Amino acid sequence: MIKRKTGILFVISAPSGAGKSTLCKRLLSEVSGIEFSVSFTTRAPRSGEVHGRDYFFITREEFMAMVNRGDFLEYAEVHGNLYGTSKSFVEEKLRKGMDLILDIDVQGAKQVFSKMKECVGIFIFPPSIEELRKRLIKRGTDPEDVIEKRLKAARWEIAQSHMYHYWILNDDLEEAYQQLKGVVLAERAKRERMELTWNI
C-alpha cells in the first residue's frame, strides 16, 4: 500500500479577469480531496459573495490585529484592500492529508514560496492584455479607472510569473481546465510525496 505523506498546497495566481475563479470552482466541484483556502480580506463583499465561503470579511483593525499576532501565512495589500491566509488553517488541512487551493496574488505567493518549499505554484495567463480589458469591461463590476489599475497590475504580475512551477494559458476554457486538473493529478502521484505502508 502507498499513501501520500501530507496534503499539497496549490498556490494559484492570475491577473484579475483571467478566469482563475472559474477554473478553480470547476476543479473543486469535480476533483475530490481538495478544498479552497478561504482568505481574510478588508474589502467589501461583491454581489453573491458569502462570508466564510468566498472570504472572511473583516475590518482593517481586525486584520492588523491578526498580523500583529502572526496569524497569517501570507498577507498583502491589493488595490487598496488587505488579503491574508490563516497559517493554522493551512497547516491543519495539510496535516490531515487534504489538498488546498490558495487563490492569492503574486505578492502573497512570493511569501508562501519562501516559507513552504513543497507547495506548487500555478500561474494562469489571459490570452492578451486587450482580451483581459474586454473581460473586465464585460464583467461590469469596476469603473473605468479601476479597470486601468487592474490592467497595470496585470502587466506587473505577468512579469513575476517566472516564480511559478506551471503556466496555463486561459484562451480556451476547457483546455485550460484540463491542464489545471492534470497538474493536480500529476503532483499527487509524485514519488517524493508518497510513502510505502507495507513491507516488500
DSSP characters over 43-90: SPPPTT--BTTTEEE--HHHHHHHHHHT-EEEEEEETTEEEEEEHHHH
Give every residue of the chain whose pLDDT is below 50, as ranges. Answer: none
CATH of the domain at 51: 3.40.50.300
C-alpha pair distances (Å), 169 with each of 19, 23, 26: 10, 12, 16
The residue among 197, 121, 198, 119 whose CA lies nearest residue 160 is: 121
145 part of a folded domain = yes
Query: Position of cell 492578451?
Result: 128
3-class SS string, 168-193: EECCCHHHHHHHHHHHHHHHHCCHHH
Structural domains in the chain (count): 1
Q: What pTM, to 2 d.p., does this model score?
A: 0.86
198 part of a folded domain = no
Per-residue pLDDT, 163: 96
Per-residue pLDDT, 19: 86
153 part of a folded domain = yes
Query: Position of cell 487563490?
Result: 103
Please tell me what DSSP assigns to residue 38. P
57 part of a folded domain = yes
For residue 36, give its domain range.
2-189
195 part of a folded domain = no
199 part of a folded domain = no
152 part of a folded domain = yes
43 part of a folded domain = yes
